Structure 1
């Protein structure tokens, strides 16, 4: 199980604590593959982009108008966190539904 997020993100820390077998992939330090981003965008659509983040607020209108995948490749911290990959399935966020799906 891989958890894509940030090592200093409170939500990612909560998820890691509840999922001791998960391996954290820090998207700021390690990045995230285009293939995984494409699969996540196909499954989650616009919700993959965190428009409430400080990174988003720092972008100008022309940057915000770019395609989501381009933005996420240039600014991986714009991804809603955590993105959890387990047994070929993807889960986004740390909601009650995600926790139930993961058996937490």
Structure 2
């Protein structure tokens, strides 16, 4: 998979991290609102993260809005939700040299920076 940065353009955290990473020019920028993640991307990220649940953003307003916090979700549910709406995917995601860095924790951002350098 080519180098890719999946983010949400309206997310200040994504914008900050995008600036911190000093991405190479060959890195494709994918604003997930305008260019939703594909099933192939979700499958690759699941392999990297270990589960669909690990890719799921519980901070999304729709998570509570749809009452999902009150349900027992399966891996299939998580996959379907990730494909259903862009807000459910953890972000940002950097795919660099075949490795995925998922989320905005300091540890993940530091690992992504180290990989780029």
- Tell me the distance in 2 between the aligned counterparts of 1:59 and 1:47: 19
Alignment pair present for 1:52 and 2:59: yes
TM-score by length of 1: 0.81
Asked if the contact 1:16/1:24 (under 8 Å) is kept, the reply is no
Checking the alignment, whether the CA contact within 8 Å between 2:6 and 2:29 is kept in structure 1 is: yes
Is 1:65 the equivalent of 2:60?
A: no
Q: Which moved more, 1:77-86 or 1:10-19?
A: 10-19
The CA RMSD over aligned residues, in Å, is 2.2
What is aligned with 1:29?
34
CA contact (8 A) 1:7 1:24 kept: no
How many residues were matched structurally?
A: 103
Question: How far, CA to CA, are the matches of 2:73 and 2:113 in structure 1?
Answer: 33
Q: Do the aligned partners of residues 72 and 31 (structure 1) sit closer, same or farther apart at CA in structure 2, a change above 3 Å counting?
A: same
Relative to the length of structure 2, the TM-score reads 0.73
Q: Distance in 1 between matches of 2:23 and 2:111?
A: 19
Q: Structure 1 stretches of 5 or more lacking a match?
A: none
Q: Where does the alignment leave 5 or more consecutive residues of structure 2 unmatched?
A: none
